[in-house]
Amino acid sequence: MTAPIQTPGFWKRHFWVFACGVVLISVSTRVFDFSVAPPGYNGLVITEPFCGLHSWDLADRAWAARSHVKYGLGYTKGLRTLVVGDPPPEHPEYYVSHPPLETWILAAGMLLLGTEDWSVRLFEVVLTVPCLFLILLLLRRLYGGACALLTGLLLVLMPPSGYFGFNPLMVLLSLWALYEYLLLTGRLGEEPAAKGRHLLGLAVALFVLVQVNWAGVFYAFVIGVHYVVRCL
């Protein structure tokens, strides 16, 4: 007697269709600005798209990225440099309380799209698309397709995510580090032959995570403490 043919589940068969829907929702909520309708109208109205930056954090990063593009790395030394003027101050004040990688990435986007506010927002939206697909893929490997899609949908539907963004690169790197750590410790199945690869992946993910934002230190700390407690 032959074994019955196993057909993949609904979420597995249509995962990428729903994943595209999640990405489309994320893009649509971040493209337009919504405001309260004027007197005589009900509800919300869509105002001009890309009319400005929505947070001090993004404006600060955009300012530092413009300094890289306008004055060059020889002047900024690759650090966050918040200066204006043509020519700029001879001895700039470097801001070293945050890692510089975020501003490098944004500066690369400015080289492609320009230094205007609309180009900054457009680059953030464009960068979100591949990052969000990878986030959904990692969540599917960790928790299954249905949970991944629900989590991704909740992430992009949160009002702060639509208005301020949700730093997809940080989310992606933290999930990648968690995924490599769980593989390394055998929580997702034993892979003794691939432990070296997973250790390298964990090291790269945590290193880049810390370079993107100082908050990445907390992820590295928690994973390290968990491993020590697990060994004890």
What is the domain partition of the chain in residue ranges?
Answer: 10-165, 167-232
Question: How far apart (Å, rounded) are the C-alpha atoms in residues 80 and 116?
Answer: 18
DSSP, residue by residue, 148-176: HHHHHHHHHHSHHHHHH---HHHHHHHHH
32 pLDDT above the threshold of 80: no
* The predicted structure's pLDDT at residue 148: 94
Q: Which residues pair with 81 in a beta bridge?
A: 94
Range with the poorest average pLDDT among 31-35, 74-78, 160-164, 194-198: 31-35
Question: How far apart (Å, rounded) are the C-alpha atoms in residues 37 and 42?
Answer: 6
Question: How far apart (Å, rounded) are the C-alpha atoms in residues 104 and 76?
Answer: 11
* The predicted structure's pLDDT at residue 147: 93
105 pLDDT above the threshold of 90: yes
101 in Cβ contact with 91 (< 8 Å)? no
59 in Cβ contact with 165 (< 8 Å)? no
Q: Percent of the chain at pLDDT above 90?
A: 53
Mean of the pLDDT values across residues 1-19?
71
132 in Cβ contact with 156 (< 8 Å)? yes
Closest CA to 54 of 153, 173, 135, 159: 159
Mean of the pLDDT values across residues 118-130?
91
State the pLDDT confidence band at 5, using cuts at 50, 70 and 90: very low
State the pLDDT confidence band at 159, using cuts at 50, 70 and 90: confident
* The predicted structure's pLDDT at residue 35: 57
48 pLDDT above the threshold of 80: no
* The predicted structure's pLDDT at residue 117: 85
Question: How far apart (Å, rounded) are the C-alpha atoms in residues 101 and 207?
Answer: 11
Closest CA to 215 of 136, 104, 102: 102
State the pLDDT confidence band at 152, using cuts at 50, 70 and 90: very high
Who's near 71: CB < 8 A, 6+ residues apart? 81, 83, 88
User: Number of helices and strands (H, E) in the chain?
Assistant: 11, 4
Mean pLDDT of the chain: 86
Question: How far apart (Å, rounded) are the C-alpha atoms in residues 1 and 4?
Answer: 9
Going 213 to 215 to 221 to 222, the CA torsion angle's sign is negative
* The predicted structure's pLDDT at residue 29: 87
* The predicted structure's pLDDT at residue 50: 65
Q: Percent of the chain at pLDDT above 70?
A: 87
What DSSP state is assigned to residue 49?
T
